[in-house]
Amino acid sequence: MRLLSALVLLAALGTPASAAGGVSGTWIAGSGPAMKIYIFKAQGAGFIGAVCGPCDDPSTVFRIADGAIADAEHVAFSIVHDDAGSRERVTATLSTPASGPRQIVATAKAESLPGGRISPAPVEGRWIAAGRVAQQNVTLKLRNGNKVWGVICGPCNNPDGVFLIEDGALDGDAISFFIHHIDTPAASVGQNGPGRNLMKGTIVSNVMKFKWVREGRESEPGGEMTLIGPIR
């Protein structure tokens, strides 16, 4: 009740953007095969994101929307089951141990949405690419017809290797999206700071060929990536 009251007050008064930024990054619940990884990205005074576990299994990847922050340790958000016409409203407690990944304890309440199960579009599912250290697993999903989102991971059982895909679009055979490197301790983020990679690609049958650049560094060399899939 105290958390819900705080969230009502938050909705009325608003939350500074800096407070929302404090939740950005990855949080874990549980351990071993049952571990779930939550990826939050600040958006205005709230946040969006995704949850997965195991994160190379598209059936476990769901979108997080309508994130609200009561204080540094208490948040609420919706987990949207796009393919099943349902969602869960979650209240959660966050904690940052002295060592190891940040933790989340979540309590969910199911909510109904109109509609039913939707067949996946051809682009949806798991796509794979060879990585320098580990295989890259890319789960792509669509919402509102052509808006691309998902997760990329490698390794997928380590929160430092899981990143949010958002702000994407599908237009015929052309696809684009951003990979959000937020504030996890992964080497690339530690060296370069938070940021996004812009991926632009073309789909030919079961192959996607991308060129990418780091946002804000478009004049610098980027790279290329080829994905094979989808594997469902």
Q: pLDDT tens digits, residue range 173-197? A: 999 999 998 654 443 444 555 688 9
Asked if 97 and 152 sit in the same domain, the reply is: no
Classify residue 85 as left (phi > 0), alpha (psi -120 to 50) or beta.
Answer: left
Domain that holds residue 186: 125-231
Determine the Cα–Cα distance for residues 97 and 81; give it in Å rounded to an integer: 30
Q: pLDDT tens digits, residue range 143-158? A: 988 999 999 999 898 9
98 exposed, middle or buried (CB, 10 Å; 0-12, 13-18, 19+)? exposed
Does any domain span residue 120?
no
- pLDDT of amino acid 217: 83
pTM: 0.85
Asked if 214 and 175 sit in the same domain, the reply is: yes
Asked if 31 and 52 sit in the same domain, the reply is: yes
How do beta strands 25-29 and 36-43 pair? antiparallel
- pLDDT of amino acid 17: 45
202 versus 158: which is more confidently predicted? 202
Residue where a domain terminates, one of 52, 84, 112? 112
Does any domain span residue 117?
no
Determine the Cα–Cα distance for residues 41 and 187; give it in Å rounded to an integer: 19
Number of domains in the chain: 2
Does any domain span residue 145?
yes
Determine the Cα–Cα distance for residues 199 and 59; give it in Å rounded to an integer: 23
Asked if 141 and 217 sit in the same domain, the reply is: yes
